[in-house]
Amino acid sequence: MFYRESGDFKTTYAKDTQTFPIKLDRVGYYIILAVAFIAIPLLLITDTGGGANYWTNAIFLPFLIWAIAAIGLNILVGYCGQLSLGSGGFMAVGAYASYKLMTSFPDLNILFVVILSGAITAGVGILFGLPSLRIKGFYLAVATLAAQFFLVWLFNKVPWFYNYSASGQISAPTRSFFGFEVTGATASAEAKYLFCLVLLFCVAWVARNLTRGRIGRSWMAIRDMDIAAEIIGVAPLKTKLSAFGVSSFFIGIAGSLFFTVYLGAVEVGEAFGIQKSFLLLFMIIIGGLGSIFGSIIGAAFMVLMPVLLKIILVDQLNWATDIAAHFQFVIVGALIIIFLILEPHGLAQLWRLLKEKLRLWPFPH
């Protein structure tokens, strides 16, 4: 009744293919943007207790950064159908590229550092994507494991990557963007938050554009029926490599932000191990494969759930933290299975179905 579509006719192709064709959606989108860009930073600035930092570090930053990574992985897995278990390793490439750039070129603007790190990761991703022409399905997934383990080993063993430091750890020096510090210990919560938010917005915008045009269709064609796709003119290697490239670009950006803005210091095995690759995969499964909105929702879900569990189980019920951790595994595992059985297209599809119901409400059909 209030979610109306009828009477809303599009008279140009441009209007027909816009991202939010329904007016109510558009309004909702602007509201969310206002909250994200204005309301939350104001809250962060005015909060002088430890609260701002806690919220930023526990929820906002991981959410924004994982959302970027999830969009990246979704392009490769959800849109192009190439299963990859190497995302952790690629995030590591982004992080270490940033470290080397920041330490070798101290005057380089942090934004360029992040973008360049993404570009370097794209190159590595394309390299590891080369076998995808010959290898498909699970075999490809296992091949990406080669990337995961090799890269983590590489950053652990080759001292050049961590500037020959004794501990093997890398830490991010302070850098500013337009006068506000965004990395390092003195950076403010709102600066870090806005920096990541702007990047998420840009990544989502680019991803939306790529997936609604020719390239997006070529990815989906390869995913759905790669032989037929080739026969109608889609060059398979070029298309798959472009998916690997774009996906790794975004994942590299996420890895760079993860290190520079969020954690500040990382040890590669712990920060970028295989567990992170699976975490990212779960985000896009639960959120919805082949959906940008789904990637963002999935990231929000997987970031919020442990926090919620901790609040309920540890703070309220006084359970030990390790039991809470075990419960998390149980719940995540069960949710994955339930989602795959009930709604393989994830939360994004559930949202779509909900909107369909809303269109008709209060009529049943």
Tell the smallest beta-carbon distance from residue 137 to another protein (Å).
Answer: 7
Tell the smallest beta-carbon distance from residue 175 to another protein (Å).
Answer: 26
Dihedral (Cα; 127, 113, 58, 26), 10-degree rounding? -90
Q: Return the number of the residue (35 or 225) whose C-beta is nearest another protein.
A: 225
Q: Taking CB under 8 A as the criterion, which residues in 285-324 touch another protein? A: 285, 290, 318-320, 322-323
Which residue has tokens 């973008």? Answer: 115
Per rule CB under 8 A, is residue 145 in the interface with another protein?
yes
Which span (28-36, 65-73, 148-156, 260-268) binds another protein, by CB under 8 A? 148-156
User: Binding another protein by CB under 8 A: which of 1, 6, 7, 13?
Assistant: 13
Q: Return the number of the residue (90 or 193) whose C-beta is nearest another protein.
A: 90
Instruction: Report helix, strand or coil for 180.
Output: strand
How many helices (H) does the chain have, and how many strands (E)?
16, 4
Helical ranges in the chain per DSSP H: 13-16, 23-34, 40-46, 51-55, 61-74, 87-104, 110-129, 137-157, 189-212, 214-231, 236-257, 268-271, 274-287, 292-309, 321-342, 346-360
Q: Taking CB under 8 A as the criterion, which residues in 215-274 touch another protein? A: 215, 217-218, 220-221, 223-225, 227-236, 242, 246, 274
Half-sphere exposure of 262 (CA within 13 A, CB side): 24
Please tell me the distance from the alpha carbon of residue 97 to that of residue 18, in angstroms, as a whole number. 36
Position 335: which residue type? Answer: L
Q: Return the number of the residue (54 or 153) whose C-beta is nearest another protein.
A: 153
Are 180 and 196 a contacting pair, CB within 8 Å? Answer: no
Which span (33-41, 94-102, 190-198, 204-212) binds another protein, by CB under 8 A? 204-212
Tell the smallest beta-carbon distance from residue 102 to another protein (Å).
Answer: 24
Are 72 and 256 a contacting pair, CB within 8 Å? Answer: no
- Kindly give, in sequence order, each residue whose CB lies less than 8 Å from that of residue 342, ignoring residues fewer than 6 positions away: none
Q: Taking CB under 8 A as the criterion, which residues in 149-168 touch another protein? A: 149-150, 152-153, 156-158
For the chain, the straight-line distance linking the first and the last C-alpha, in angstroms and rounded, comes to: 12
| Length of the chain counted residue by residue | 365
Q: Return the number of the residue (221 or 299) whose C-beta is nearest another protein.
A: 221
Total number of residues binding another protein (CB under 8 A)? 78
Q: Taking CB under 8 A as the criterion, which residues in 58-87 touch another protein? A: 81, 83
Please tell me the distance from the alpha carbon of residue 339 to that of residue 286, in angstroms, as a whole number. 7
Tell the smallest beta-carbon distance from residue 300 to another protein (Å).
Answer: 19
Q: Return the number of the residue (166 or 341) whose C-beta is nearest another protein.
A: 341
Q: Return the number of the residue (124 or 332) whose C-beta is nearest another protein.
A: 332
Q: What is the largest CA-CA distance in the chain?
A: 68
Please tell me the distance from the alpha carbon of residue 102 to that of residue 257, in angstroms, as a whole number. 13
Tell the smallest beta-carbon distance from residue 204 to another protein (Å).
Answer: 12
Tell the smallest beta-carbon distance from residue 232 to another protein (Å).
Answer: 6
Q: Return the number of the residue (109 or 209) whose C-beta is nearest another protein.
A: 209
Tell the smallest beta-carbon distance from residue 143 to another protein (Å).
Answer: 5
Are 259 and 110 a contacting pair, CB within 8 Å? Answer: no
Residue 131 preceded by cis peptide, ω within 30: no
Q: Return the number of the residue (69 or 83) whose C-beta is nearest another protein.
A: 83
Please tell me the distance from the alpha carbon of residue 84 to that of residue 306, in angstroms, as a whole number. 24
Tell the smallest beta-carbon distance from residue 131 to another protein (Å).
Answer: 5
